[in-house]
Amino acid sequence: MTQVIMGGCDGENTWRLKDYVARGGYEALRKVLSGMTPDQVITEVKTSALRGRGGAGFPTGLKWTFMPKNYVGDKYVVCNSDEGEPGTFKDRDILRYNPHALIEGMIIAAFAMGATRGYNYIHGEIWSVYERCEEAIEEARSAGFLGNNILGSSFSFNLYNHHGYGAYICGEETALLESIEGKKGQPRYKPPFPATYGLYGKPTTINNTETFASVPWIIQHGGQAFLEIGRPNNGGSKMFSVSGHVNKPGNYEVPMGTPFATLLEMAGGMRDGRAIKAVIPGGSSMPVLPGHIMMQTDMDYDSIAKAGSMLGSGAVIVMDDTTCMVGMLERLAWFYHEESCGQCTPCREGTGWLYRIIHRIEHGQGRMEDLDLLLSLSDNIQGRTICALGDAAAMPVRSFVNHFRAEFEHHITHKRCLVGSAHSEKAA
Amino acid sequence: MSLLSPQSIQRIDHEIAKYPADQKRSAVMSALRIAQEQHGWLPRELMASVAEHLELPAIAVFEVASFYEMYNLKPMGRHKLTVCTNVPCALSGADHFCESLKKKLGIGFNEVTADGEFSLKEGQCFGACGDAPVLLVNNHTMHSFMTEEKLDALLKELKS
Amino acid sequence: MALLNIEVDGQTTQVESGRTVMDAARQLGIKIPHFCYHRKLSIAANCRMCLVQVEKAPKPLPACATPAAEGMKVSTHSEYAVNAQKAVMEFLLVNHPLDCPICDQGGECKLQDMSVGYGGGASRFKEEKRVVANKDLGPLIATDMTRCILCTRCVRFGQEIAGIMELGVGGRGEHSEILAFVDQTVDSEISGNAIDLCPVGALTSKPFRYSARSWELTQHDSIGAHDGLGSNVVVQVKQNTKVMRVLPNNNDDVNECWLSDRDRFSYEGLNSADRLTTPLIKENGQWVEATWVEALQIVADAFNKIKDVQGADALGALVSPNSTLEELYLAQKLLRDLGSHHIDHRVRQSDFSLDAVQTNIPWLGLPVAQWPELKSCLIIGSSLRAEQPLLAVRLREAVRNGAQINLINPFVDDLAMPVAHQLVGTPSQLPGLLAEVLQAVAALQNVTVSAALQPLMSHAPSAVAQGIAESLVNNSSCALFLGCLAQHHEAYGTLYAVTVELARILKAPFGVLGEAANSVGAVLAGAVPHRGPLGTHNAPGLDAQAMLSSPRKAYLVMGLEPELDCANPAAALAALKGADFVVALSAFRGQTPNWASVILPVAPFTETAGTFISMEGRVQSFKGAVAPQGQARPAWKVLRVLGNLLELQGYDFESVDDIRAELSHDLKALTKNSLGNELAAAPALKVRASLGTIERIGEVPVYQTDALVRRSPSLQASRLGSTVEVQINSALASRLNLKCGQNVRVRQGQGVAHLVLRVNDAVPDGSARVPVGHPLTAQLNDANGVVSLEGAS
Ligand SMILES: Cc1cc2nc3c(=O)[nH]c(=O)nc-3n(C[C@H](O)[C@H](O)[C@H](O)COP(=O)(O)O)c2cc1C
Ligand code: SF4
Ligand code: FES
């Protein structure tokens, strides 16, 4: 099974430049600099059908064409390593075990788009990873992969790490730019999009860590080879972060289109052999799906969409039959309420309201009409906010209530959990 | 008079160098982090010193300090312990772990132990859900796959 | 620019590309509900109230932030749009108190207005509402932060219009709150505009707080009386007797929608306990109340007697440039009819060398509304934010449009905007510094400086002077301005002459920043010694300074506090006290009993009709908003009666209109034709080496410009109003062995002032900033003189 990103990453020092080069690292960059044109690079990425791994799944090659070609002045590439979507922990492993794949990917991207500077925005809570990335960049710089006239070419590019300090919203790309600019991480209204007005008002492209880290492989092996690993329109392999009630939580890089059942098996199957109840297939912002539906679904953008959810960031949260869905939704609602940047009205006021209603239900104070109110409020938030956090807060609510309505009703009428004491963690 | 130590200023200047010359402001997050490492938390005057060093309005610095979760706007225990309790972690024992942590420290979330050694905070996602339960000490040291035994050993080590 | 066709609610219009759906709707007169949008501020799109339906868009879009596109079809009131708007309104009200009856904004609240249209019956929100702690933002702005809807207008105002970020949004999410940095207040000179901008009752006027409800107030248009801009204002009056509040009246050519705090809060002084409401006369050394008839007869008798015995030459008049055109006209008419030309309104000026060579009325040189289009400018001698708060706003806009601001000042000034070059020297160095710029400009343009100015061309231009010269030369539209510090300078004529030459070489407009509400009107009215009304030349009289240095026997003093308003308070008081007779026309008692013989209570601008001519030559008449307090009377009526009592001819005016008609039937045209900054010849130059001692930089503090402003307790309590200090740089401080924050004695002549010392390296060595116009420095003399400093415990 071909692993685009983590292939060969076993052992202590896989993150070191030496190891990376031994694995064939920076060969793609050499290839690019010894004769490819920026357009050829972009075409290769387009052929690969690589789609953004940060959540939205936007075709990467297409995104790169949005950067103005003849712009005079600085252009930027920015990597989104602010991984904070509950359930997602793949980018941390890329940065920990294979940071040079990201660095090389960013250099190639910068070349393709004519960018001169890049920033890698690293999630606040993973300090040691940031320190490692600082070292990795230093290694790359000393080896001549970063800086002026890279590998003797006329191409120059500088890359820096920017460390976050605890705000989920900075994962939203324009909030991330504001944050690099030294402001609160509050998303910008779009348009204008970053490709025209990005970091410091300059043309900017933002991609996820995994997206950039896939690029060297694509260049080295060709876009077609990448596409063929996965499915049409769903190219390549993808890292899935599997968490929750499984025996071996962790990251699994598998070809796009791998059946969920296979992925679950790789993760050691259900913990304690219990029955699967529900799965959030793409990170906490995506609709939850009942376990039996997931067991029929393949892990790629289109299949999951067909099943009624989204692949998102590829975070697979597995819940067994002891799980209290009301309690889980309460925790998620609290998250969005706490992490709303507070800028726009529906999200600032709506997420708090949602949380308070769910909190009431969880604590035996619910009213039957609350369920329709939750759905109505979700409708009133979704699609009306500056950024997609509003949607991210609304979608779980809607899907939890719709798929597990009986459980919510039980909570309201009996003032306690349907799964009762079986709800292991709460009761313990 | 700046309350930033010469070492802190040196570290901040290193961060400033990462950004274009007219974008000093970009270093405000690192500057606040460094100031906090120096002092443990961010009193008013320290934020004012950061503002002065970066030539920013003080309120602009405060906006940043109060927006991001990991800045301490109030004094903390010597060790700030943050536990992620979000869904994936909750499914893997975080709630249970928190209960025992609270019992051991004798405090709840957002409280400080009487001896000033520990503060306890409930965190959002650390991006380490596969390692649950995870505990963060003073923002920068992460402890994964926490168990009762590992916790006892850690608390003992931190206290000494 | 390309025009786009766009349809809003079935009506089509064209907008420039780059404009928004909101702009298109406004153009069509279609109202889209909004809170965060404001036409003078950047787009935030955070309230989401303006969501509209756009054909083919998958979700409702905010009109304020959605760029218009060719062929776009927008519905602002379709069911789809209204549903989105209603949902936003519901969210806005979730945490907003619904106690409009006790809110100070009640009756003028955008949220209240809109919720009437949108709020859907019973609230679905059953939880507890959020409570947000109030903030102490100082004496001008009251807060009720629980009402805040986080539209961030106040924050954007600070950043974009005031130029200083004093307010921000702390915290995040639902915990977000508007605040200033820990323990700080809002101190900007235009801070009160945030009150108008706040669409709800979160920021309200502290002086006005709970004193009236908006629907109890009647509105009267008027004109700001404290600087030369002529801001359009609305005076709000309760029960037709008391001025309760002053707000801006939108006029895009003048003050836009803004108002300086000085014009906004000075009204407090109108209701001051110090108001004079009956005529006072001195009987056996005691002040007693008198009837108007008694008091005026005493004045007429005294003037007649002195005129008969000493000649008309013994009479003089010092008048306030904040008086109305009609008052100033009558005052000079009276004096001149009595045979004296000794009248002047330029009480702070000390160099009158231009009087001999200036034929027209000095003015701003170009309309205020054109300032934002400047690409470069040089401002000479001005603490701009204090002198002209709203001109600074215009300049900020110019800077946003790419303009370069250059300054020559006796201290480094903080304009709350980027300044390209700043040339700083002690007051006596300023003419030389300006001459360096002239020299550099002449060299760049390859022209020779006129012979008259050659004596000034000695230094080689410094790098900064060179920078200024290049900025002026390289930018097509530049302009030059002389501020109040220049106008009060002892070598004003020289500064002016160099500026004229610069303007000639650069072919640039230049002008003076009008200090007072009627600085232009006063000259037109003839309240100057060298010219009668409309510029008719009479035998020259004595100027404001000469009238004090060679004292008269009798004075008429109108609207002034000479111990604060004159360039040399000590000399002013000595002259007045030494006179045989002084009549004071004043709205306030103040110190008048110390120097006057008869005190006549006159009406301030809100209690009389009149006219101000602004520094750009805008003729603006207004009516009284309330009746004069007590027995106070409009000064024009007092002067008219006095004319009659003095048995002079032609004092039968029925109204201010009659007075204006006597001056001209077409005042606007007349004014336009009378303006002009060119000189007939070069004035006598003043070139002086440094005084060698500590030169006083005597600037007027922002809230000490006139008697009314001085009596606004809120302005005086604000940080700008309450900070009175002497400032010197650290080098001088260490030579004098003085420390920042300590008490010092400032000596000048016989006078002493006790002030706190602030060490400020913005002040050039060898000089000290010692404010004028302030009671604490009223004992000192010449604003341009030398002072000595010593430590005091
Ligand atoms: C609330 C919110 C949080 C997000 N968090 C992340 C994140 O942690 N990492 C990430 O790569 N993208 C995140 N995104 C998506 C980014 O905005 C952006 O689409 C992505 O970084 C683009 O990169 P890609 O095209 O390579 O996926 C988030 C979006 C939203 C609305
Ligand atoms: S949707 Fe939420 S997070 Fe996004 S801009 Fe609005 S308030 Fe901020
Ligand atoms: S007015 Fe458009 S979002 Fe507030």
Indicate if B91 and B154 belong to the same structural domain: yes
Tens-place pLDDT, residues C119-137: 666 789 888 999 999 999 9
Which pLDDT value is given to residue B36? 98
Tens-place pLDDT, residues A345-401: 999 999 999 999 999 999 999 999 999 999 999 999 999 999 999 999 999 999 999
Q: Which residues pair with A161 in a beta bridge?
A: A120
Among C165, C169, C182, pick the best mutation site for testing chain B contact (most B Cβ within 10 A): C182
Q: In the structure, what pLDDT confidence band is assigned to residue C690 with cuts at 50, 70 and 90? A: low
Phi, psi of B73, deg, nearest 5:
-90, -5
Ligand nearest to the CA of C45: 3
Predicted confidence (pLDDT) at residue A424 exceeds the cutoff of 70 = no
Mean pLDDT score of chain A, rounded to an integer?
Answer: 95
B8 min Cα distance to partner chain C (Å): 23
Q: Find the helix or strand (DSSP H, E) in which A46 lies.
A: helix A38-48
Average pLDDT over residues A193-201: 98
Give, for ligand 2, the residue of A285, A340, A345 to mutate: max count of ligand atoms closer than 8 Å to Cβ: A340
Give, for ligand 2, the residue of A184, A339, A354, A389 to mutate: max count of ligand atoms closer than 8 Å to Cβ: A389
Task: Return the CATH number at B128.
Answer: 3.40.30.10
Which pLDDT value is given to residue A421? 43
Residue B74 falls inside a structural domain: no
Average pLDDT over residues C43-56: 97
Indicate if B102 and B144 belong to the same structural domain: yes
For the Cβ of C60 lying below 6 angstroms from any atom of ligand 3, the answer is: no
Q: Is C181 on the interface with B (CB under 8 A)?
A: yes
Cα dihedral C156→C161→C164→C167 (10° resolution): -30
Predicted confidence (pLDDT) at residue B1 exceeds the cutoff of 80 = no
Q: Is B137 exposed, middle or buried (0-12, 13-18, 19+ CB in 10 A)?
A: middle
Q: In the structure, what pLDDT confidence band is assigned to residue C21 with cuts at 50, 70 and 90? A: very high
For the Cβ of A14 lying below 6 angstroms from any atom of ligand 1, the answer is: no
Tens-place pLDDT, residues C367-377: 999 999 999 99
Kindly identify which residue of chain A lies nearest to residue C168, measuring between CA atoms. Answer: A184
DSSP character at residue B121:
E
> CA C612, CA C625: separation in Å to the nearest integer?
16
Q: Which of A337, A338, A346 sits opposite C91 (nearest CB)?
A: A346
Which pLDDT value is given to residue A420? 56
> Is the whole model's pTM more than 0.80, yes or no?
yes
Residue B1 falls inside a structural domain: no
Predicted confidence (pLDDT) at residue A427 exceeds the cutoff of 50 = no
Q: Which of B28, B132, B141 sits opposite A182 (nearest CB)?
A: B28
Indicate if B57 and B119 belong to the same structural domain: no
> CA C714, CA A154: separation in Å to the nearest integer?
64
Report the number of distinct structural domains present in chain B. 2
Mean pLDDT score of chain C, rounded to an integer?
Answer: 95
Cβ contacts of residue C499 below 8 Å, gap of 6+? C380, C434, C480, C482, C510
Indicate if B92 and B142 belong to the same structural domain: yes
Residue C515 CA to ligand 3 center (angstroms) comes to 39
Residue B155 falls inside a structural domain: yes
Residue B151's closest CA among B135, B129, B132? Answer: B135
Which of A351-355, B63-67, B87-91, C779-783 has the lowest average pLDDT?
A: C779-783
Which pLDDT value is given to residue C689? 66
> CA A257, CA A234: separation in Å to the nearest integer?
8
DSSP character at residue C128:
P
For the Cβ of C25 lying below 6 angstroms from any atom of ligand 3, the answer is: no
CB-based contact C181 B62, cutoff 8 Å: yes
> CA C124, CA C18: separation in Å to the nearest integer?
40
Tens-place pLDDT, residues A262-272: 999 999 999 99
A202 min Cα distance to partner chain B (Å): 12
Q: Is A350 on the interface with B (CB under 8 A)?
A: no
For the Cβ of A325 lying below 6 angstroms from any atom of ligand 2, the answer is: no
> Of B25, B46, B67, which residue is a domain's last?
B67
Give, for ligand 1, the residue of A5, A67, A80 to mutate: max count of ligand atoms closer than 8 Å to Cβ: A80
> Of B14, B40, B67, which residue is a domain's last?
B67
Chains sharing 3 or more CB pairs under 8 A with chain B:
A, C
B96 min Cα distance to partner chain C (Å): 28
Which pLDDT value is given to residue C433? 96
Residue B92 falls inside a structural domain: yes
**Does ipTM come in above 0.85?**
yes
CB-based contact A162 B70, cutoff 8 Å: no
For the Cβ of C34 lying below 6 angstroms from any atom of ligand 3, the answer is: yes
Which of A410-424, C487-501, C630-644, C682-696 has the lowest average pLDDT?
A: A410-424
> CA C420, CA C280: separation in Å to the nearest integer?
54
> CA B135, CA C671: separation in Å to the nearest integer?
77
Q: In the structure, what pLDDT confidence band is assigned to residue A94 with cuts at 50, 70 and 90? A: very high
Average pLDDT over residues C451-465: 90
| Helix residue ranges per DSSP H, A166-222 | 173-180, 209-221
Which residue carries 């290694």 as its tokens? A139
Which pLDDT value is given to residue A192? 95
Residue A215's closest CA among A344, A44, A1, A414? Answer: A44
B113 min Cα distance to partner chain A (Å): 23
Q: What is the largest CA-CA distance in chain C?
A: 92
Write out the two tokens for C14.
């064209």
CB-based contact B68 A165, cutoff 8 Å: yes
Specify whether the CB–CB gap between A393 and A330 falls below 8 A.
no
Kindly identify which residue of chain C lies nearest to residue B44, measuring between CA atoms. Answer: C182
Q: Which of C48, C95, C172 sits opposite A346 (nearest CB)?
A: C48
- Percent of chain C at pLDDT above 70? 99
Indicate if B61 and B108 belong to the same structural domain: no
Residue B122 falls inside a structural domain: yes
Q: Is C179 on the interface with B (CB under 8 A)?
A: yes
Q: In the structure, what pLDDT confidence band is assigned to residue A428 with cuts at 50, 70 and 90? A: very low
Indicate if B62 and B88 belong to the same structural domain: no
Ligand nearest to the CA of A62: 1
Q: Which residues pair with A276 in a beta bridge?
A: A320
- Percent of chain B at pLDDT above 90? 98
Which pLDDT value is given to residue A426? 40
Indicate if B10 and B60 belong to the same structural domain: yes
Residue A348 CA to ligand 2 center (angstroms) comes to 7
Kindly identify which residue of chain A lies nearest to residue B15, measuring between CA atoms. Answer: A162
Q: In this structure, which amino acid lies at residue C598? A: V
> CA C54, CA C74: separation in Å to the nearest integer?
5
Kindly identify which residue of chain B lies nearest to residue C168, measuring between CA atoms. Answer: B59
Indicate if B49 and B83 belong to the same structural domain: no
Task: Return the CATH number at B20.
Answer: 1.10.10.1590
Residue C788 CB neighbour total at 10 angstroms? 12
Average pLDDT over residues A300-305: 96
Indicate if B104 and B138 belong to the same structural domain: yes
For the Cβ of A66 lying below 6 angstroms from any atom of ligand 1, the answer is: no
Look at ligand 1, atom 8, and give the residue with the nearest C-alpha.
A83
Average pLDDT over residues A206-219: 98
CB-based contact A348 C175, cutoff 8 Å: no
Q: Is C167 on the interface with B (CB under 8 A)?
A: yes
Predicted confidence (pLDDT) at residue A56 exceeds the cutoff of 60 = yes
Residue B138 falls inside a structural domain: yes
Look at ligand 2, atom 8, and give the residue with the nearest C-alpha.
A341
Residue C79 CB neighbour total at 10 angstroms? 9
CB-based contact A191 C49, cutoff 8 Å: no
Residue B73 falls inside a structural domain: no
User: Which ligand 3 atom sits nearest the alpha carbon of residue C43?
Assistant: 2
Indicate if B47 and B100 belong to the same structural domain: no
> CA C484, CA C579: separation in Å to the nearest integer?
30
Predicted confidence (pLDDT) at residue C382 exceeds the cutoff of 50 = yes
Bond into A192 cis (ω within 30): yes
Determine the distance from the C-alpha atom of residue C348 to the mean position of all C-alpha atoms in its chain, rounded to a whole number.
Answer: 16
Residue A81 CA to ligand 1 center (angstroms) comes to 9
> Of B67, B92, B114, which residue is a domain's last?
B67
- Spell out which residues of chain C touch residue A175, defining contact as CB-CB under 8 Å: none
Indicate if B83 and B149 belong to the same structural domain: yes
Residue B108 falls inside a structural domain: yes
For the Cβ of C612 lying below 6 angstroms from any atom of ligand 3, the answer is: no
Residue C615's closest CA among C511, C723, C743, C538? Answer: C511
Predicted confidence (pLDDT) at residue C186 exceeds the cutoff of 80 = yes
Which of A205-214, C535-544, C686-695 has the lowest average pLDDT?
A: C686-695
Predicted confidence (pLDDT) at residue C253 exceeds the cutoff of 50 = yes
Indicate if B61 and B88 belong to the same structural domain: no
Which pLDDT value is given to residue A422? 39
Q: Which of C47, C51, C174 sits opposite A342 (nearest CB)?
A: C174
- Spell out which residues of chain B touch residue C137, defining contact as CB-CB under 8 Å: none
Q: In the structure, what pLDDT confidence band is assigned to residue C691 with cuts at 50, 70 and 90? A: low
Give, for ligand 3, the residue of C21, C40, C42, C48 to mutate: max count of ligand atoms closer than 8 Å to Cβ: C48
Predicted confidence (pLDDT) at residue A425 exceeds the cutoff of 60 = no
- Spell out which residues of chain C touch residue A346, defining contact as CB-CB under 8 Å: 48, 87-88, 91
> CA C57, CA B133: separation in Å to the nearest integer?
44
Kindly identify which residue of chain A lies nearest to residue C176, measuring between CA atoms. Answer: A342
B64 min Cα distance to partner chain A (Å): 5
Domain extent for B62: 6-67
CB-based contact B62 C165, cutoff 8 Å: no
Residue C307 CA to ligand 3 center (angstroms) comes to 69
Which pLDDT value is given to residue C121? 62
Predicted confidence (pLDDT) at residue A67 exceeds the cutoff of 80 = yes
Predicted confidence (pLDDT) at residue C673 exceeds the cutoff of 70 = yes
